[in-house]
Structure 1
Amino acid sequence: MTRPPNRVTVNWAGEHRFDAGRATGGPTVRIDADAKTGPGPVDAMLIALGSCTAVDVVDILAKRRTPVESLSVEVVGERHEGGFAPRRLVHARLVYRITGEKIERVHAERAIELAVTKYCSVRDSLDPKIPVEWTLELNGESGLGTRDSGLVGE
């Protein structure tokens, strides 16, 4: 069984600005390649990666009956520094900052790992050669290091 396709409309709003949203109406988001009135297209992609994985983390921890009290994800994307376009994404690093009274580190790390490697459709839609690394700060305490999700498809 397949889901209906996602449909969005992108409307030019002058200069390098576009208002985008579902084709059937509803809320819109401003995308601004000059980053004056909204995030640029690459930032929007990084926002999508961070929020897609965050949804899964929240859901996984809720199913464990260890609800998240707060969560933020800092996403740093490195781009190819060649002189010619496209300056594609070559590496992503996500820093998850989670608070929750009953959340155990091992369960939060497992939730992030599953979100990044298995459940996030945005991550799965990126070039599989792009490494995605992540770290966890749980209740203000940093982890022991960086985890690499590995290359998708290998």
Structure 2
Amino acid sequence: MKASVTWIDGGTYAAESGSGHGLLMDAPIVAGKPTIAPSPMELVLIGTGGCTSVDVVSILQKGRHDVRGCVCRLESTRAETPPKVFTRINMHFIVTGKELKPEAVQRAIDLSAEKYCSASIMLAKTATITHSFEIVAAD
């Protein structure tokens, strides 16, 4: 895997993935000055939510469960002193589908957390990661 990050101005950087996809990052370097993009640490959190969501949906689909939607809401706490690593992350999944069984959703979340999600397994080295979920019935 490869990527590049180019400083644009102030706290703004342009990133490009090895597959050619780009995004902006912005770090607040002046207190109170608005930013125009997520910070690098926000992207770490977002990437973790994406990684585990891909797993959860894929596991449910492979189990032939009728999953129609998945939202992963993340809340985190970081250390107060540098390097300000994540110390706590809660992942709350809102899974929508037809006749989804809580046991199946819990199993998918557990498999992601314990076996498949590289990002959350890596972050679990410094952070306590908790999971919760709710199921919304699809029409």
TM interval, shorter chain, is 0.7 to 0.9
Distance 1:95 1:125 in 2: 19
Alpha-carbon deviation of 1:116?
1.3
1:28: which partner in 2?
Answer: 22
* Cα distance in structure 2, aligned partners of 1:136 and 1:52: 16
Q: How far off its partner does 1:123 sit?
A: 1.5
Q: Which has the higher strand share?
A: 2
1:61 aligns to what?
60
Stretches of 4+ aligned residues off by more than 6 angstroms: none
Q: Could you say what the CA RMSD is over the residues aligned between the two structures, in angstroms?
A: 1.6
- In the alignment, is the contact (CA less than 8 A) between 2:73 and 2:92 conserved in 1? yes
Retained in 1: the 8 A contact 2:26–2:40? yes
**CA–CA separation in structure 1 for the residues paired with 2:133 and 2:73:** 11
Query: How far off its partner does 1:70 sit?
Result: 1.2
TM-score, structure 1 length as denominator?
0.79
Counterpart AA for 1:128: K
Asked whether the equivalents of residues 61 and 108 of structure 1 are also in contact (C-alpha less than 8 Å), the reply is yes
Q: CA offset at residue 22 of structure 1?
A: 1.7
Q: Are residues 127 and 113 of structure 1, via their aligned partners in 2, closer, same or farther at CA, if it must alter by over 3 Å? A: closer
Q: Give aligned-pair identity as a percent.
A: 28
- More relative contact order, 1 or 2 (CA 8 Å, 6+ apart): 2
Question: Which secondary structure state, in structure 1, belongs to the residue aligned with residue 67 of structure 2?
Answer: coil
Residues 8-65 of structure 1, C-alpha deviations (whole Å, 9 max, x = no match): 01111211111112245x2211111137221111111100110000000010000111
- Give how far 1:124 is off: 2.4
Q: Could you report, residue by residue, the CA deviation over 1:70-100 in whole angstroms, capped at 9, with x for unpaired residues?
A: 1111111101124xx2222111101101100
Counterparts in 2 of 1:21 and 1:67: CA distance versus 1, 3 Å: farther
Offset of 1:127 from its aligned partner?
5.1
Instruction: Quote the Cα distance in structure 2 between the aligned partners of 1:33 and 1:99.
Output: 34
Rounded Cα–Cα distance in structure 2 between residues aligned with 1:68 and 1:39: 29
Structure 1 residue aligned with 2:3: 8
In structure 2, relative to structure 1, the CA distance for the partners of 1:21 and 1:66 (3 Å cut) is same
Mapped to 1, the partners of 2:65 and 2:18 lie a distance apart of 37
State how 1:1-154 maps to structure 2 within 5 Å.
Answer: 6-23=1-18, 26-34=20-28, 36-82=35-81, 85-126=82-123, 128-139=125-136
